[in-house]
């Protein structure tokens, strides 16, 4: 054997090629077979190249190109087999075989490392299994989503029930506090009126008792105004005012309100400028803050009300040295009806109302408090550039010596007691009054009488005051309109009569009523 290989590589055995004496049938068997094999080999690379070009996402793309080259070269070897049957071009055939070898060896070498990755490619059955698992997971997800939806709906119903319960609790707090305050006011009014009835022949005492009843009525008016301000339904009479002068003017009111156990200091810087707010509501807000400060010092202490400039704002602060509030209470302090006072001692609307006044003026409210050290509540009101605030505030009361104007007035109010009292007020100042118990009756009286002014209630059955006023202006375009109302109806009135009416809030004093009427008649 060794002798054979030695002789072979030494060139002692020369190749003989194909035998030309083969039978023709055998030759054509070689030709046809090689041709078919070559055609098959050539078609395979074309298919591989087409696949790789169209599926650029397929992994192992370079391997496909190399495999295509290998198969193509294999096809060429069979073509050369046909060629050499007649030409004997063995050099070309050897070259092509060398190219085939060069392509086949790297292909074989690279194929084995890729085999694990190729085996990892999922089969159709594996893909189907994964699809089934995914479909099951999606179905489970849908079931979970339905469960979550049902739970969310249940939670929403529970939250709605909780909100309703909180509302009812808030209403309970509100009604308890309001009932307590109003019962005290009614007691003061009824007690003094009873004393007047018992001793009508003692004018000095009657005057004092009447004054006490009037003061209680005024406090009731402020209380309802507080509620309406909180509900954002109050008609705010915003005007430019001097906060320093307003605070200094409240000195006596504040001292009487906080009592003798409180050391009150009222301080206001000069040159604060003007702010735009409702003076009555601003006074009420400051008063509420001062009373809150007093309540935080049950054994007495120092209370300071101050006003200073803070950038583009005027800062009105009320500072006490009381028990202070923990952070969780500060966070809830502006919530409506929230109070730390005992039952019947407060409505929880004081800070909410003060915040509403600040926001209505375009400002804000700030609370700073430390437990055991005290609390500072600050109203931040934007400054306005105006000299109007430096001028004295005109009084709404009739000027001394001013001539009273008697007029024909149509009064419409469905409450007979209120209507009678207002009619007597008007008649006591020389006015001629026509009374109407409802809207249709008022319009009927307006058709057959000439009046200069109509005094209207708003909340009346079947036909409210705004509807009466709208039709009255069609009948008598020049008639003046004055509303006496305890209802939060300012917007409805303005919409009905296009701002052509003056509004006074019940209860109204005879002086305020007379002043408003004379101002309207003079205007």
Three-class SS of 276-340 = EECHHHHHHHHHHHHHHHHHCCCCCEEEEEEEEEECCEEEEEEEECCCCCCHHHHHHCCCCCCCC
Quick check: 70 and 111 in contact, CB under 8 A? Answer: no
Distances (CA, A) of 374 to 278, 285, 294, 342: 29, 19, 11, 19
Q: Specify the 3-state DSSP secondary structure of 271.
A: coil
Q: Of 330, 332, 328, 234, whose CA–CA distance to 280 is shortest?
A: 234
Rounded distance between C-alpha atoms, residue 315 and residue 307, angstroms: 6
What are residue 435's DSSP bridge partners?
411
Instruction: Provide the pLDDT for residue 8.
Output: 47
Stated length of the chain = 523
Tokens representing 305 are: 């009300």
Quick check: 272 and 242 in contact, CB under 8 A? Answer: yes
Q: Is the backbone of residue 502 left (phi > 0), alpha (psi -120 to 50) or beta?
A: beta
Instruction: Provide the pLDDT for residue 308.
Output: 93
Quick check: 240 and 274 in contact, CB under 8 A? Answer: yes
Q: How far is CA 389 from the centre of its chain?
A: 35
CA-based diameter of the chain, in Å? 165
Which residue blocks in 199-237 are alpha helix, DSSP H? 203-230
Q: Of 365, 285, 295, whose CA–CA distance to 330 is shortest?
A: 365
pLDDT in tens, the chain (523 residues): 577 556 645 655 444 455 545 677 777 787 888 889 888 888 888 887 787 777 776 666 667 777 788 888 888 888 888 887 777 777 888 888 888 888 888 877 777 777 676 666 667 787 888 888 889 999 999 999 999 999 888 888 887 776 666 555 555 555 555 665 666 667 777 777 877 888 888 888 888 888 878 777 776 776 666 555 555 445 556 789 999 999 998 888 888 878 888 999 999 888 888 999 988 788 888 988 898 889 889 888 999 999 999 989 999 999 999 988 888 888 877 765 556 554 444 545 567 778 888 988 899 999 999 998 999 999 999 998 754 444 444 433 444 334 357 889 999 999 888 888 888 889 888 899 999 999 999 999 999 988 999 999 888 888 888 899 989 999 998 899 998 876 555 566 766 667 788 888 777 778 888 888 988 888 6
Q: Of 309, 316, 307, 320, whose CA–CA distance to 376 is shortest?
A: 320
Q: Specify the 3-state DSSP secondary structure of 353.
A: helix
Environment class of 149 (CB within 10 Å of its CB; exposed 0-12, middle 13-18, buried 19+): exposed
Instruction: Provide the pLDDT for residue 364.
Output: 93
Which helix (H) or strand (E) segment holds residue 383: the answer is strand 374-384
Reported as half-sphere exposure (CB side, CA atoms, 13 A), residue 97 has a value of 9
Instruction: Provide the pLDDT for residue 118.
Output: 64
Tokens representing 84 are: 């050499």
Return the CA Rg of the chain.
Answer: 51
Helix 251-258 vs helix 279-295: crossing angle, to nearest 10:
30
Q: How far is CA 459 from the centre of its chain?
A: 32
Q: Who contacts 235 (Cβ-Cβ below 8 Å, separation ≥6)?
A: 490, 503, 505
Instruction: Provide the pLDDT for residue 468.
Output: 92
Centre a 10 Å sphere on the Cβ of residue 380 and count the other Cβ atoms it contains.
20
Q: Of 173, 226, 181, 176, whose CA–CA distance to 339 is shortest?
A: 173
Rounded distance between C-alpha atoms, residue 185 and residue 191, angstroms: 10
Q: Who contacts 512 (Cβ-Cβ below 8 Å, separation ≥6)?
A: 396, 397, 504
Rounded distance between C-alpha atoms, residue 501 and residue 457, angstroms: 12
Instruction: Provide the pLDDT for residue 264.
Output: 92
């Amino acid at each position: 054997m060794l002798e054979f290989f030695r002789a072979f590589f030494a060139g002692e055995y020369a190749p003989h090629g194909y035998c030309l004496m083969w039978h023709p049938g055998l030759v054509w068997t070689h030709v046809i077979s090689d041709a078919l094999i070559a055609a098959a080999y050539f078609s395979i690379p074309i298919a591989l190249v087409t696949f790789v070009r169209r599926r650029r996402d397929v992994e192992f793309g370079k391997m496909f190109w190399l495999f295509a080259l290998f198969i193509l070269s294999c096809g060429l070897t069979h073509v050369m087999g046909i060629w050499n049957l007649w030409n004997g071009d063995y050099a070309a055939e050897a070259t092509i075989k060398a190219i085939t070898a060069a392509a086949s060896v790297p292909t074989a070498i690279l194929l084995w490392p890729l085999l694990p990755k190729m085996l990892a490619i999922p089969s159709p059955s594996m893909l189907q299994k994964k699809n089934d698992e995914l479909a099951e997971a999606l179905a489970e997800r849908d079931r979970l989503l339905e469960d979550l939806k049902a739970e969310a709906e249940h939670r929403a119903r529970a939250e709605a029930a909780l909100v309703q319960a909180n509302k009812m609790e808030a209403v309970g707090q509100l009604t308890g506090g309001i009932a307590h305050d109003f019962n005290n006011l009614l007691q003061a009014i009824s007690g003094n009126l009873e004393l007047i009835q018992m001793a009508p022949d003692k004018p000095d005492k009657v005057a004092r008792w009447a004054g006490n009843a009037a003061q209680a009525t005024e406090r009731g008016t402020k209380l309802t105004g507080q509620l309406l301000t909180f509900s954002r339904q109050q008609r705010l009479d915003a005007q430019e005012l001097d906060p320093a002068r307003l605070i200094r003017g409240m000195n006596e009111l504040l001292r009487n309100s906080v009592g003798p156990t409180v050391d009150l200091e009222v301080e206001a810087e000069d040159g604060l400028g003007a702010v735009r707010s409702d003076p009555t509501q601003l006074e009420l807000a400051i008063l509420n803050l001062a009373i809150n400060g007093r309540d935080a010092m049950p054994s007495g202490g120092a209370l300071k009300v101050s006003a200073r400039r803070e950038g583009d704002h005027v800062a009105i602060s009320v500072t006490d040295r009381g028990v202070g509030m923990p952070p969780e209470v500060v966070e809830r302090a502006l919530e409506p009806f929230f109070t730390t006072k005992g039952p019947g001692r407060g409505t929880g609307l004081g800070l909410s109302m003060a915040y509403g006044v600040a926001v209505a003026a375009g400002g804000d409210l700030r609370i700073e408090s430390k437990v055991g050290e005290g609390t500072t509540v600050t109203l931040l009101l934007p400054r306005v550039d105006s000299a109007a605030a430096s001028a004295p505030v005109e009084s709404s009361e009739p000027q001394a010596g001013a001539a009273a104007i008697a007029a024909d007035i149509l009064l419409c109010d469905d409450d007979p007691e209120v209507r009678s009292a207002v009619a007597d007020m008007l008649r006591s100042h020389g006015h001629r009054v026509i009374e109407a118990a409802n809207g249709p009756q008022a319009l009927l009286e307006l058709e057959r009488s000439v009046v200069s002014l109509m005094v209207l209630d708003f909340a009346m059955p079947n036909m409210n005051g705004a509807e009466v006023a709208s039709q009255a202006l069609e009948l008598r375009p020049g008639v003046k309109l004055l509303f006496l109302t305890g209802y939060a109806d300012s917007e409805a009135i303005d919409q009905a009569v296009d701002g052509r009416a003056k509004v006074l809030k019940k209860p109204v004093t005879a002086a305020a009523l007379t002043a408003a009427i004379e101002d309207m008649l003079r205007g």
